[in-house]
Amino acid sequence: MKKSIGILLLSTLCGALPLQAQNVDNLTPEQQKQLLNLLLLQQKVAQLNAQNGYTPQAAVAPAAAAPQRSDAELAAAFDAFPALTAGVQFERFRDGFAINGRRYIDPEGKITSYGFDAQSGDFTYLAETNAGEYVLKSGRALASAEPVTIATARKQGAQWQVSTVTGKKFTGYRLIPSSRGFVIARDNTGFRFVPGHGTTNIVAPETFTIAALQNGDIANTGYILLERTPESNGSQANNSLGSLFNAVKSLGSVVGVGKKEDYALLNIENNRLVPVNVSLEDKQVQVMSACRQRNMLIAQCDKMDSYDSVFQPNGMRNMSHYFWRINWFNVPGRPILVSQEGGLSKVSATDLNSGKKVILFERTLGIANFAATQQANGKISVTAQMGFSSETRDDVAALLDTLPDVAEKTAN
């Protein structure tokens, strides 16, 4: 054992003394003697290594960087995806998504966020390959070809650093995949990267930021969701009067009296803004702790924590969160918003092009739950929990053409 270790160390030392290409005649007699001894020593070490079956290991090369591609090459890769003859149906899961009922996951890591379009079948997702390291891939549903890697990303604290395979670099605080490409956001500004087509800027009003969660496709609808900054609605911690007024407005919005338009959809092409009557405070969930059981029915808790979450602590959807209450879809040439605004009593649909708004469901005691999905045939269906029963509207676009417009009644 000691002999083997000695041979290994000796081999390492000799390997660390590379011979320089030089004229031996320029060396002094003493240097020539040292060089000859070194050569003899290296030869002896090689013989000993061969006798003991030891082979020096080559140094491990660093992992190769992602191959760089031109915009034209990236565009050609997407053009190679076959066009769908019919749409598909996507379904959301915490890790990945489903296409026509079949789960889609990535072998490199957990899919943490994604965007998709049911009509084109296009999707882009963000997968965590190592702690704080991610890869962005884009693909098309039902295609036999693998998704195309469009970028890598690293998250350090609250900041994202993104490098595309075409060599572009971005930094921001929110990274949002869409059906084709992604958006990297910094407060009320952002950059939209579309593979093969380059980058465009997004600039929202100063009183808004780009929302972290988007339950609609930015690429094919042309709309992105904005969230009002706490400072602009008077809810900052050092403004007690503003916070009180804000709380009163929020309560009025919940019961359907007054407005609390803390969200808006921004058209990224013409900067048109569509206000959405949903309160900023509704996205919070409360968790009780330090509880003591008073009796079989009542527990007394000394502490309550509130935080932003799309899910309740029991895993159920937090249906007061804006992510579930604000949905928008691409019906070819017609972006449509399905939302629960101004409290819990109504679910409505809005044609984002014309501004027409219709009521899909209405219940005085409130609608506890609803879900909007786009079917493979392109139709938008909405199912709502109406007390102890559920009701469904199968074709929202058709209802927008036939039901009366209520936009004027809710305009002020």
Domain boundaries, the chain: 2-52, 71-203, 231-410
What DSSP designation does 297 have? S
Instruction: State percent of the chain over pLDDT 70.
Output: 70
Hunting for tokens 């036939």 — which residue is that?
Answer: 402
Residue 217 has pLDDT above 90, yes or no: yes
- Please report the pLDDT score of residue 241 as a whole number: 44
- Please report the pLDDT score of residue 219 as a whole number: 94
Burial degree of 325 (CB within 10 A; 0-12, 13-18, 19+) = buried
Whole-prediction pTM value?
0.74
Q: How many CA atoms lie within 13 A of 382 on its CB side?
A: 30
Cβ atoms of residues 235 and 250 within 8 Å: no
Q: How confident is the model at residue 72 (pLDDT cuts 50, 70, 90)?
A: very high
Residue 248 has pLDDT above 60, yes or no: no
Q: Is 34 left (phi over 0), alpha (psi -120 to 50) or beta?
A: alpha
What DSSP designation does 61 have? P
- Please report the pLDDT score of residue 213 as a whole number: 93
Tell me the C-alpha distance between 386 and 181, whole Å.
38
Cα 219 to chain centroid, rounded: 14
| Rounded average pLDDT over 181-199 | 95
- Please report the pLDDT score of residue 25 as a whole number: 55
290 versus 11: the higher-pLDDT residue is 290
What DSSP designation does 62 have? P
Residue pLDDT, tens place only, 32-67: 666 666 666 666 666 666 566 554 544 433 333 445
- Please report the pLDDT score of residue 280 as a whole number: 86
> Token digits for 209?
């930021």
Residue 402 has pLDDT above 50, yes or no: yes
Q: Which residues of 293-319 are buried (b: 16+ CB within 10 A; e: fewer)?
A: eeeeeeeeeeeeeeeeeeeeeeeeebb
Residue pLDDT, tens place only, 123-168: 999 999 999 999 999 999 999 999 999 999 999 999 999 999 999 9
Hunting for tokens 């059906």 — which residue is that?
Answer: 179
Residue 244 has pLDDT above 80, yes or no: no
- Please report the pLDDT score of residue 246 as a whole number: 47
Tell me the C-alpha distance between 119 and 121, whole Å.
6
Q: How confident is the model at residue 407 (pLDDT cuts 50, 70, 90)?
A: confident
Cα 397 to chain centroid, rounded: 28
| Rounded average pLDDT over 276-289 | 69
What DSSP designation does 207 have? T
186 strand-pairing partners:
189
Q: 3-state DSSP call for residue 354?
A: coil
Query: How many other C-beta atoms are found inside a 10 Å radius of the C-beta of residue 237?
Result: 7
- Please report the pLDDT score of residue 98 as a whole number: 96
- Please report the pLDDT score of residue 315 as a whole number: 73
Residue pLDDT, tens place only, 295-319: 666 666 655 454 457 777 777 788 8
Residue 252 has pLDDT above 60, yes or no: no
Tell me the C-alpha distance between 328 and 32, whole Å.
81
- Please report the pLDDT score of residue 167 as a whole number: 93
Find, among 324, 361, 309, 354, the residue nearest to 336 by Cα.
Answer: 354
Residue pLDDT, tens place only, 368-401: 999 999 999 999 999 999 999 999 999 999 999 9
293 strand-pairing partners:
299
| Rounded average pLDDT over 171-182 | 97
Q: Which residues of 64-87 are buried (b: 16+ CB within 10 A; e: fewer)?
A: eeeeebebeebeebbeebeebeeb
284 strand-pairing partners:
308
Residue pLDDT, tens place only, 82-135: 999 999 999 988 788 999 999 999 999 999 999 999 999 999 999 999 999 999
- Please report the pLDDT score of residue 47 as a whole number: 65
185 strand-pairing partners:
174, 190
| Rounded average pLDDT over 278-294 | 65
Find, among 317, 116, 292, the residue nearest to 220 by Cα.
Answer: 116
Residue 71 has pLDDT above 60, yes or no: yes
- Please report the pLDDT score of residue 19 as a whole number: 40
Residues ≥6 apart with Cβ < 8 Å to 363: 345, 386, 387
